């Protein structure tokens, strides 16, 4: 059996860490965790083509759905802490299961994961706790949706209730488009995730991401970040999982952040407590700064990608202790987390065709990289028969750089990108435009 979390209240052994997931997010977590000299090994299930380029990292081939085999393996490897990256295993209760088996787990249980996994549940949650968010209607049929679409004069956003790999949100330009979006969701475009639809008032303002590490009661905030969801320069084109990001977000001045803490973050954690949800993990707050104040666009029950790749290089070697403290429920809330005064910028290199259809399996050539304060986290890569690096996803590589100045950080990232090539490589040239003086333009 795993380690009994209740018997180890003080810092315990942290030699073997397991990260579940296969993206850039998980590689950046592995990278920051391995910095700690106490950590001997970081295992990734399944990881990707770039995971084993990271110091101390090893991939494990195992299907996490095969739970008995998983526990046997984790016992054998003497895993001290488990970090679950993606939302699907969290929604399926993997954290609950592993905690019951005695492992220390960073990641909420099935109940907490509902913040992300059901948009209507999250909206009700916010309503009950008086947390500012866009007005909404939960609808169970196309007929119901039609009535609301035609009876309201405010512009609407249409959302599938359940998980839809970041593709379940539609921002229509007309009532007709709005109806067609609802129709496509009810017609099964996202399977059971579309049994319920949320119609939401379309709100306006810049977006910002805030992350709180929670131990069930206490929390600490990571540096803020801003990502770029649209595929093309000037924020044009379809929504993607994220084409790049930067951190911190200067948009959020300290007093405004205080307001967000009072109006959104603390009420969220209090409401979780009120509902007896012992949330041990990260809460992502996707916020919009509107004229009438900050509003929650969405919650995630995991680190955002690519914000995670952007923020992790700003963390020091003690970051793993914070994850452990959350898992054990002993955060003080006063921990100092960020020792770097630098800023960080991340640009994502994608496959041609993403976020729609794209081909995989193209060799990736990486030339002379300036590695000072620069990292390349593989997002969607695999290794070929002879160990060659191949494209294996829509988002392929995250190129991240830090400096005292955003202009220089992004200059380095784009310089490194010139050294990277694969068939169909695509990236935005204006990531961080809001904070790059030499690229300033009207947003
Ligand atoms: P989500 O997956 O909920 O983060 O939505 C994806 C993107 O859709 C967000 O980053 C926003 O840009 C946009 N969005 C979502 N909800 C709204 C809303 N109520 N009003 C305006 N834009 C929204």
Average pLDDT by consecutive 10-residue portion of the chain (443 residues)? Answer: 40 91 98 97 98 98 94 97 97 98 98 97 98 97 95 94 88 92 94 94 95 97 94 92 95 91 98 98 97 97 97 96 97 85 97 96 96 96 97 98 97 97 98 89 47
The answer to whether the beta carbons of residues 399 and 429 sit under 8 Å apart is no
pLDDT tens digits for range 268-313: 999 999 999 999 999 999 999 999 999 999 999 999 999 999 999 9
How many whole angstroms from 99 Cα to the centroid of ligand 1?
33
How many whole angstroms from 169 Cα to the centroid of ligand 1?
7
Which tokens go with 410? Answer: 């992004």
**How far apart (Å, rounded) are the C-alpha atoms in residues 278 and 292?**
32
How many whole angstroms from 16 Cα to the centroid of ligand 1?
38
Which tokens go with 242? Answer: 């994220």
Q: What residue's CA is closest to ligand 1, atom 8? A: 169
DSSP string, 268-337: HHHHHHHTT---EEEEEEEEEEETTEEEEEEEESS--TTHHHHHGGGB-TTHHHHHHHHHHT---S----
Q: What residue's CA is closest to ligand 1, atom 3? A: 298
How many whole angstroms from 172 Cα to the centroid of ligand 1?
11
The answer to whether the beta carbons of residues 41 and 52 sit under 8 Å apart is no
Residue 337 has a pLDDT of 80
DSSP string, 214-260: EESS-EEEPPPBEE--EEEGGGEEEE-S-SEEEES-TTS-HHHHHHH
How many whole angstroms from 235 Cα to the centroid of ligand 1?
14
Query: What's this model's pTM, rounded to 2 decimal places?
Result: 0.94
Q: What residue's CA is closest to ligand 1, atom 9? A: 297
Residue 2 has a pLDDT of 42
Ligand 1, residue 134: give the atom nearest the CA: 19
How many whole angstroms from 200 Cα to the centroid of ligand 1?
9
Ligand 1, residue 168: give the atom nearest the CA: 2
Which tokens go with 187? Answer: 């017609």
Residue 11 has a pLDDT of 57
Residue 443 has a pLDDT of 42
Please name every residue paired with 209 in a beta bridge, in sequence order, or none if there are none.
225, 286
Ligand 1 first shell, C-beta below 6 A: 134, 157, 166, 169, 171, 200-203, 207, 229, 239, 286, 297-298
**How far apart (Å, rounded) are the C-alpha atoms in residues 249 and 174?**
32
Q: What residue's CA is closest to ligand 1, atom 14? A: 297
The single-letter DSSP state of residue 415 is: H
The torsion angles phi and psi of 254, rounded to 5 degrees, stand at -55, -40
pLDDT tens digits for range 111-151: 999 999 999 999 999 999 999 999 999 999 999 999 999 99
């Amino acid at each position: 059996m795993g380690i009994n979390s209740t018997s180890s209240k003080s810092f315990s052994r942290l030699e073997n860490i397991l990260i579940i997931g296969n993206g850039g997010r998980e590689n950046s977590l592995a990278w920051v965790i391995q910095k700690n000299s106490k950590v001997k090994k970081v295992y990734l299930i399944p990881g990707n083509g770039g995971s084993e380029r990271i110091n101390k990292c090893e991939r494990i081939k195992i299907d996490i759905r095969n739970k008995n085999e998983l526990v046997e393996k984790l016992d054998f490897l003497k895993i001290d802490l488990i970090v679950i990256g993606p939302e699907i295993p969290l929604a399926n209760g993997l954290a609950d299961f592993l905690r019951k088996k005695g492992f220390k787990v960073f990641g909420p249980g099935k109940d907490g994961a509902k913040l992300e996994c059901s948009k209507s549940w999250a909206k009700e949650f916010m309503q009950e706790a008086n947390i500012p968010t866009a007005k909404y209607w939960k609808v169970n049929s196309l007929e119901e949706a039609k009535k609301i679409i035609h009876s309201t004069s405010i512009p609407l956003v249409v959302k599938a209730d359940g998980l839809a790999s970041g593709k379940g949100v539609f921002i229509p330009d007309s009532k007709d488009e709005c109806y067609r979006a609802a129709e496509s969701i009810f017609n099964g475009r996202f399977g059971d995730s579309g049994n319920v639809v949320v119609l939401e008032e379309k709100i306006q303002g810049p977006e910002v991401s805030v992350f709180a590490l929670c131990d069930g009661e206490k929390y600490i905030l990571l540096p803020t970040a801003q990502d770029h969801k649209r595929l093309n320069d000037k924020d044009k084109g379809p929504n993607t999982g994220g084409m790049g990001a930067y951190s911190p977000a200067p948009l959020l001045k300290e007093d405004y952040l205080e307001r967000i803490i009072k109006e959104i973050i603390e009420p969220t954690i209090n409401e979780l407590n009120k509902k007896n949800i012992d949330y041990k993990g990260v809460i992502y707050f996707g916020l919009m700064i509107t004229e009438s104040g900050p509003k929650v666009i969405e919650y995630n029950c995991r680190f955002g990608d690519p914000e995670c790749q952007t923020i992790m290089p700003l963390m020091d070697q003690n970051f793993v202790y914070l994850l452990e403290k959350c898992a054990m429920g002993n955060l003080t809330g006063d921990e100092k987390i960020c020792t770097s005064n630098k800023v960080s910028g991340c640009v994502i290199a994608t496959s041609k065709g993403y976020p729609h259809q794209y081909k995989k399996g193209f060799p990736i050539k990486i030339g002379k990289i300036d590695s000072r304060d620069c990292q390349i986290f593989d997002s969607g890569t695999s290794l070929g028969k002879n160990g060659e690096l191949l494209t294996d996803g829509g988002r392929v590589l995250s190129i991240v750089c830090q400096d005292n100045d955003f202009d220089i950080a992004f200059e380095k990232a784009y310089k490194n990108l010139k050294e990277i090539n694969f068939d169909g490589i695509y990236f935005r040239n204006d990531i961080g435009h809001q904070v790059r003086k030499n690229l300033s333009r009207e947003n």
